[in-house]
Amino acid sequence: MLRIGLLLPMMPQDGGLHGDIPGLARWAEGIGVTSLWATDHLLWHSPVFECMTAVTLAAAATERCRVGTCVLQLPLRRPVEVARVASTIQHVSDGRFVLGVGAGLHEGEFDAVGVRYDDRGARLDAGIRQLRGLWAGTDERYGHQRIAAPPIWIGGASRRAARRVAALGDGWMPLFVSPGGLAARFADLDAMLQANGRRPAEVARAVVLWTRVTDSAAEEREAVSWLGRFYGLPDAVVARHLIVGPPERCLERMLEFARAGATEILVSPAADDPSPTVAALFAALRTTLPEARVHA
């Protein structure tokens, strides 16, 4: 079974379904999307929505979809505040929230808010431990009342990220990896989990895939340029990480990641409006790849 989640568009647009997070969330759940995710940037080269607010809107507009952050840059925030917001979303969503966290990659965001960049990994580890202590009521500085605790999934594709998942995480969501690279990383994770006395089956495994469904060669080129503009990188750098083409080709590529061990494919459409790509993927699932059933 193939689970397909959707990264919500986080840059405001004028008009259209992509500018309406609750409307997009309801529509996505209606066609079979299994999870909805918000990315996180405190500062970006264009206006962006705040991720915990976006997740809350998506949760309020849906009934079945998992909702989560992909990923919250925890070292940029105080864990005690994140713990309160995350537990609130977990409660009001009836347990559908996943707190995805990561160290962050963009040094400029850290500089702009006066936070050190070079020790962000250590502060991420400490922050995760503090979150769990706060939710469990074992952090004596903040009282003993246990509150709703969401699972913590961890971003990043490095071995250090795998070690962090094995020690502290309930799931992993790497980005910018090949199917072969993903399989190797999951094999490493299994060994690390077993060394820590944990069962590999208890850890969720997702992968974020930039995707654009189109039958047009011109639109394929435009999708590469869109992704390059989004990250501020040359097209040649981002092109190898983009799944682009007709829906059947895109789905076959996604199935390669599923066969590599991903339990959920998190689609991040390389377009201002994600709905055409998502609609085309699900239409193809129901007509040309019936064996790849969507698991709600």
pLDDT of residue 102: 97
pLDDT of residue 45: 79
| Banded pLDDT at 126 (limits 50, 70, 90) | very high
| Banded pLDDT at 18 (limits 50, 70, 90) | low
CA 230 and chain centroid, separation: 16
* Residue ranges of domains in the chain: 4-287
Residue 34 confidence (pLDDT) above 60: yes
pLDDT of residue 147: 76
Alpha carbons 203 and 174: distance in angstroms, whole number:
13
Residue 207 confidence (pLDDT) above 80: yes
Residue 157 backbone phi and psi in degrees, to 5: -120, 10
Residue 204 DSSP SS3: strand
The identity of residue 112, as a single letter, is: A
Average pLDDT over residues 33-51: 91
pLDDT of residue 260: 96
Percent of the chain residues topping a pLDDT of 70: 93
pLDDT of residue 230: 85
| Banded pLDDT at 295 (limits 50, 70, 90) | very low
Cβ atoms of 130 and 139 within 8 Å: the answer is yes
pLDDT of residue 266: 97
Lookup result for tokens 């979303």: 89
Average pLDDT over residues 222-242: 91
**CATH of region 4-287, choose from 3.30.1520.10, 3.30.470.20, 2.60.15.10, 3.20.20.30:** 3.20.20.30
pLDDT of residue 287: 80
Average pLDDT over residues 248-268: 95
Rg (CA), the chain: 19
Cβ atoms of 35 and 2 within 8 Å: the answer is no
Cβ atoms of 270 and 212 within 8 Å: the answer is yes
Residue 96 confidence (pLDDT) above 80: yes
Alpha carbons 166 and 257: distance in angstroms, whole number:
21
Q: What is the pLDDT of residues 154-195, one digit of tens each?
A: 999 999 999 999 999 999 999 999 999 999 999 999 999 999
Average pLDDT over residues 49-61: 96
Residue 94 confidence (pLDDT) above 60: yes
Average pLDDT over residues 129-158: 87
The residues, ordered by sequence, that sit 6+ positions from 145 with a Cβ below 8 Å of its Cβ are 137
CA 292 and chain centroid, separation: 21
pLDDT of residue 286: 83
Lowest mean pLDDT among 9-18, 96-105, 161-170: 9-18
Cβ atoms of 172 and 262 within 8 Å: the answer is no
Average pLDDT over residues 113-124: 95
Residue 296 confidence (pLDDT) above 80: no
- Please, what is the average pLDDT of the chain? 91
pLDDT of residue 48: 87
pLDDT of residue 1: 66
| Banded pLDDT at 290 (limits 50, 70, 90) | low
pLDDT of residue 291: 52
Reported pTM:
0.93
Alpha carbons 213 and 199: distance in angstroms, whole number:
37
